[in-house]
Every structure is written in C-alpha cells, then in structure tokens.
Amino acid sequence: MKISILDDYFDTVRTLDCFAKLAGHDVKIWNDHVQDVDVLAERLADTEALVLIRERTQIRTPLLERLPKLKLISQRSVYPHIDIDACTRLGIIVSSSQHADTPSYATAEFTWGLVLAAMRAIPQQMAALKAGKWQIGVGHTLRGKTLGIYGYGRIGAVVAGYGKAFGMNVLVWAREKALAQARADGHETASSKDAFFERCDVLSLHMRLVDATRGIVTSADLARMKPSALIVNTSRAGLIAPNALVNALRAGRPGMAAIDVYEKEPLRDVNDPLLNMDNVVCTPHLGYVSQDEYEIQFTDIFDQILAYAAGAPINVVNPEAIGRR
C-alpha cells in the first residue's frame, strides 16, 4: 500500500522498532506541518492509507473529496479533527485505537514535571542564571498541599498517585462514576465544584474535550482559586472558557499556570499572552511526545494498517464505510 505519515516533526517514526511492521509498503513521511488543502491534496494524491499523529492536521471534507485513492485513515485516540461523516460517505475507513486499557504514562509524567517546574519556577530560574542573576525568588514545596484532579480517568488517576507519593492531599472532582472510583482508590472527593476550586493548591485538568466539557472551566471557577494556586493543563485548551485563563492570571487568581495545550497548534505567535507572563510555564504540547509512547502508539497504528491490508480492519470508528468503496 501507498502510506503517508503527516507531521512527524523530528523524523522519529522511521527510528521506531515498530516501523519494521511496514516493510514492503511504500511509505512517505512528511516532517513539516501543513494545513493548506491544495498542498495536502497534492501531497496525498496517491495515498491509500493515511497515518495521523494525534490531532496535528485537520482532515475535513474539502480535502477528503480530493483524495480518490484514500481507503484508510489510521491513528490513535480521539478524532475531533477528522470529518467522520465525510469519510463514511466516501468509503474511507477510520481506524483509531482508544487504548481503553492503558493510560498515557508519558502525559502523566510530563504533567508532574510541569507541576514541579511551575511551583519551583525552574524555567524562570534557569533563564535568570543564564542572564547572570543568582536566585530570583522563592518557590513552593508540595508536601502537605492539596492536589486537585479534575476528571478522574486513566491519566488523572496516575497523577493522583504521584501527588500522594509526594505527600500531597488529593482532592477529586469529576462525574459521579469517576468520583466513586476515586473514593474506592482512597482519595477525598470535593463536596461541590465551587469547593473544589477554592481548596486546591495545585489543580490539574484531565478530561477529554467533547461538547459537554468544552469551556467547563469558567472565569467564575478560576476566580475562586487561591492567589498562590497553580492550574495545570496537559489535556486540551478548550476545557477552559475562551480568554478566561489569561484574564484570571492577570487578576491574580490563580497565581500560576503550567500549560502544554493551546487553542491553535502549532502555536507560533510569540506575542501570545501566555508566552509573555512570568507566572506561566508553557511547553509545546509535549505530554505524549516520548520515544516510549511513540512505540506504543505507532504499534497500534501500524497494526491497524496491516489488519486492513489483510481484509479485516480493526478499531473501526465508522463501520458503515466498510464495503462502500
């Protein structure tokens, strides 16, 4: 099959052990990011199987209708960036493993790295040291403080465990089923959303972005946080209402933020307010970006391609597309 892989920024995929699964196929890898439909249509004109790295490129109707040879889109995790209805109409199968049995340990570990970096102002202290300054302030320890986990799913549960290991008091707010699981795991749950935001010293978001969760963190929620509190977002930018975070940080509640996700990615606007605040640690959506995580993800992605080539597609999110082509 003719296979195209988009947005492999650092040409990492071909270095993975699992890349050997595609031996015998015609594979083209693109290392830049392009969203222009004309450019993508030209690049992918002969593509039969398209590999996506999470949500880096939007795959919508204007592009899909110009890819007559495309038979399969293979990726991992959620797919708000793909027009599933158009794929179904055009007979393009979308295979996407939802990895329901495993959390992204890479994202959980990175979340904790951001917590430590922000609470001790590590990036700011490093920049100051390189500029010839010695100690520019006093940081905050974690032991004895309250770690809030908003959304107690696979990743949230792992991060809660890290907090407990650091001697923090873990407090959870989520849907009722998830709250019950958190209590079963020995964690305290908040009496209300308002109380949750008021009590947390560190608050980490761990929810998928769907219609029900878009903007679920409001300006009023953020205004209830302590001036000394930190909010961490390694999930999706859209969980926080538009402009609410920047305005809240300017108002001093919460006092700090650590952000790995943005409304528009890649974020290349150096004038973005978040990138120019001394009380914010920003990273370029690195949560899942590790060699080990890539091995896990692309093993699933390539297995989906092999299953399709064998005539038995797996993890199909639009079964109505099967047989339409």
> Which pLDDT tens digit goes with each residue over 166-180?
999 999 999 999 999
What b/e string do you get for 233-256 counting C-beta neighbours within 10 Å, with b at 16 or more? bbbbbbbbbeebbbebbeeebbbb
Q: Percentage of the chain with pLDDT > 70?
A: 99
236 catalytic per annotation: yes
CATH superfamily of 2-100+291-321: NAD(P)-binding Rossmann-like Domain (3.40.50.720)
> Which pLDDT tens digit goes with each residue over 59-75?
999 999 999 999 999 99
**Which CATH architecture does the domain made up of 105-282 adopt?**
3-Layer(aba) Sandwich (3.40)
* Confidence band for 323, pLDDT divided at 50, 70 and 90: confident
Residue 102: the pLDDT is 77
Catalytic pick from 65, 265, 293, 320? 265
> Which pLDDT tens digit goes with each residue over 3-34?
999 999 999 999 999 999 999 999 999 999 99
175 catalytic per annotation: no
285 catalytic per annotation: yes
Domain boundaries, the chain: 2-100+291-321, 105-282
> Which pLDDT tens digit goes with each residue over 109-135?
999 999 999 999 999 999 999 999 999
Does this chain's domain 2-100+291-321 share its CATH topology with 105-282? Answer: yes
Mean pLDDT value of segment 36-58: 97
* Confidence band for 100, pLDDT divided at 50, 70 and 90: low
Residue 99: the pLDDT is 77
The pTM of the whole model exceeds 0.75: yes
Amino acid letter for position 70: L
For 188, residues 6+ apart whose C-beta sits below 8 A from its C-beta are 169, 170, 171, 172
Catalytic pick from 187, 199, 224, 236? 236
